[in-house]
Structure 1
Amino acid sequence: MTTTTVTPAAPAAVRQGTQIRLEHVTKDYGLAVPAVDDISLTIEPGEFMTLLGPSGSGKTTTLNLIAGFETLTSGTIELNGRDVGKLPPHKRDLGMLFQNYALFPHMTVAQNVAYPLRERRLPKDVIRQKVADVLELVQLTGRDDNHPSQLSGGQQQRVALARAIVFDPKALLLDEPLGALDRNLRGALQAEIRRIHREVGSTFVFVTHDQEEAMNLSDRIALFNTGRIEQIGTPEQLYRAPETLFTARFLGDSNVFELDGGATGSSVGWDGATWAVDADTVAAHPGVLTRAAVVVRPEDVEIVRTASKLPSGVNSVPAIVTDVEYMGSYRTAMLALGPSGVKGRARIDAFDSALTRGDDVVAWWRPQRQRVVAA
């Protein structure tokens, strides 16, 4: 499903960036399906928009189309209302940050950062001041004369980020810039990118396949699936209110119950059980969902020993504990759900060590905390 959401999501204080509008954009390499298949998307000024999806879903191709590194098969791309679909990359005035940094090894930090300013033939004193300002922004003051080989991976990425924003581009495009870094360093640089986005106030378009990274950084996320946009929304909207089973499974862990006979009214059936449906939890799809699934997040599932201990008004299913994993701040109870033994999980308190493998239990959740989606 291709969705265009134009409601601003970035805070009002950072609205001076560039609007990027894609209308019916397609990139077809002549394969079985287009790499990008008729997508429409509006990225608001100053917004941090993430293009998220698995490998081959079209997110990087879309970024390259915006940058001008790929040519459109059809559709339009506009920057602040100006059609740039036929402009070469250097005339679009966009910053680009890659995963591999692309720093010049023979140049110092200051020379690397100054490169786009020298290409634009700015006066030397202006270049000197702009380089000093941006190195302070990325917290690399004093590293001016170092070469890339003298810096850590995280510092090199900061140099690349400084070079990408030093000339005040209309927008910054980031192609999996943290993919080569270890987990702890990625977390630190995520915080830096978020801070710099707030301070610069520019439009950021970020590509990643990492769901946690997308949820941590983004104002909104466009989730890609086989060349199309599956859903657009804030991280919370995609997590709490997925419209399709693909979205529910891609963002976070889910207990998935594919329903008998779809979803047609105020109740649904699964594996002999009948569950109540709250109308507000049904994904907005035209007509009746003939193939549907109930999705419940692990943190919304509770466990009791017997059905007699169930609260009133809840949905429930018998289960067998197949394992208990200790995760530090919580435990995860791995479950075989219902007569068919569908794999599921529930998040329980870290100090709850009473459950053991083989226990017969009842898993339950409130109808308001489930989501009924197209399967």
Structure 2
Amino acid sequence: MSIRTPAAPRTIEVTRADSPASPRQGTRIRLERVTKDYGLATPAVDDISLTIEPGEFMTLLGPSGSGKTTTLNLIAGFETLTSGTVSFNDREVSALPPHKRNLGMLFQSYALFPHMTVAQNVAYPLRERRMPKEQIRRKVADVLELVQLTGRDGHYPSQLSGGQQQRVALARAIVFSPNALLLDEPLGALDRNLRAALQTEIRRIHREVGSTFVFVTHDQEEAMNLSDRIALFRDGRIEQIGTPEHLYQAPETLFAARFLGDSNVFELGAGAAGGSVAWGGREWVVDPATVAAHPGVRERSAVVVRPEDISIARTSEGVPSGVNSVDAVVRDLEFMGSYRTLVLGLGAADTPGTARVPAFEAGLTIGEHVSVWWRPERQRVVAA
């Protein structure tokens, strides 16, 4: 996995390829002790604080009902705060209505006007701001070039594919140079291939425009692919925040480890202590650097090992020294193209597990008893 390092954006009337590079733009969005309480058993958003830096691509990730969309709506002004503050560039906007926050919005539904052409749809927010006609014409032409829809300006939404309609909606959301662009699961209605293509386009447009993007999704792969940082939500709170690589490689809790990627989980019960842990009659070495800083580790913890860090030995004699290992049974074999996924039963308790091995490693059979092993530095001890 790799983290995208955004290039210096180029300034246009929206952004043009031949424009000189400019400093990174965008609005700093700060939420301080924000709560939204609908009077239910628990608040929808529960005392969260978050700073989104200018020009950053921040993703709010989490399962349904975790508070991510409500947080986006609080930033937009569509919901009123129960407590806390929302600030743009250190100016509090908590009491401002949505139309005075100057934010672009992109939703799963395209919300295009069917009786307007592409150009008319994109020009709509500029006409509402009473810009001169020639300036509107230039801005519309620039943004249609940016989203690669030049020549489609006279088409109507019904004449466009779903991906093209979403590009029009994106163009309309950024044409007036908003303080930030808020995206609420905008790719959720598209098929897998089209989603991947539009993710690439959104990444490119973010890099070129240089504005602050706040993106909501429940799709971990989408979040990993697009984000500078991810705020992982759970039950109205932020469970962990960091770069995609950091959240994947260094989860603080079992929830974070399971939500971002596949994991082999060995629950320990009492917290890990010293340089070793015990599971299923095995004693494993613990590298102190792999123990999460989360205070819950001291009370209840689990060892997490990613499938790609698991190696397979046909016999116990094939396990190297200095590693952690456990006996396993091969329950299934899944061919995934460049690699195979082994579905495993781990230990005497037959705990579910997975391993990934190169596709050319053949010979294993369902029901075969093997030893699985991993290096202590490749595991993570998290709060369970």
Q: Normalised by the shorter chain, which TM-score bucket?
A: over 0.9
The aligned residue for residue 341 of structure 2 is 332
* Aligned residue in 1 for 2:33: 24
Change in CA separation of 1:82 and 1:10 when aligned onto 2, cut-off 3 Å: farther
Matched residue SS, 1:33: coil
Distance 1:139 1:287, change over 3 A: closer
* Counterpart residue type for residue 145 of structure 2: E
Residue 27 of structure 1 aligns to which amino acid in structure 2? K
Q: Please point out which of 131, 137, 152 is paired with 1:122.
A: 131
Query: After superposition, where does 1:255-294 map in structure 2 within 5 Å?
Result: 255-286=264-295, 289-294=298-303
Deviations 1:214-253 (A, max 9, x none): 0000000000001000000000000000000000000000
Which 4+ runs in 1 deviate beyond 4 A? 9-12
Query: How far 1:11 moved relative to its partner?
Result: 4.4
Task: Report if the CA contact (8 A) 1:10-1:47 is conserved.
Answer: no
Match among 203, 208, 227 for residue 217 of structure 2: 208
Query: Is there any run of 5+ residues in structure 2 with no aligned partner, and where?
Result: 10-23
2:373 maps to what in 1? 364
Q: Is the 8 Å Cα contact of residues 295 and 383 (structure 2) preserved in structure 1?
A: no
Alpha-carbon distance in structure 2 between the residues aligned to 1:220 and 1:140: 29
Q: 1:154 aligns with which of 115, 138, 163?
A: 163
1:305, distance to aligned residue in structure 2 (A): 1.1
Q: Following the alignment from structure 1 to structure 2, what is the Cα–Cα distance between the partners of residues 201 and 261?
A: 47
Note closer, same or farther for the CA distance 1:339–1:181 as it changes in structure 2 (3 Å cut).
same
Equivalent pairs counted in the alignment come to 367
Distance 2:232 2:269 in 1: 28
The one-letter code of the counterpart of 2:126 is: L
For residue 64 of structure 2, the aligned residue among 34, 55, 58 is 55
Letter in 1 for 2:141: A
Q: 1:335 to 1:176 in 2, by over 3 A?
A: same
Which residue number in structure 1 is paired with residue 8 of structure 2?
13
Structure 1 unpaired stretches of 5+: 1-8
Give the letter aligned to residue 127 of structure 1: I
Structure 2 residue aligned with 1:140: 149
What's the % identity of the aligned pairs? 79
- Whichever residue aligns with residue 335 of structure 1, its letter is L
Pair 1:29–1:287, CA change in 2 (3 A) = closer
- Contact kept, 8 Å, 1:260 with 1:270, in 2: the verdict is no
Listed as ranges, the matches of 1:14-93 within 5 Å are 14=9, 15-93=24-102
Contact kept in structure 2, 1:113 and 1:131, CA below 8 Å: yes
- Structure 2 residue 181 is the aligned partner of structure 1 residue 172: yes
TM-score by length of 1: 0.96
Q: Tell me the residue number matched to 2:244.
A: 235
Q: Aligned partners of 2:344 and 2:156: how far apart in 1?
A: 53
CA RMSD across the alignment:
1.1
242, 254, 268: which one aligns with 1:245: 254
Deviations 1:32-86 (A, max 9, x none): 0000000000000000000000000000000000000000000000000000001
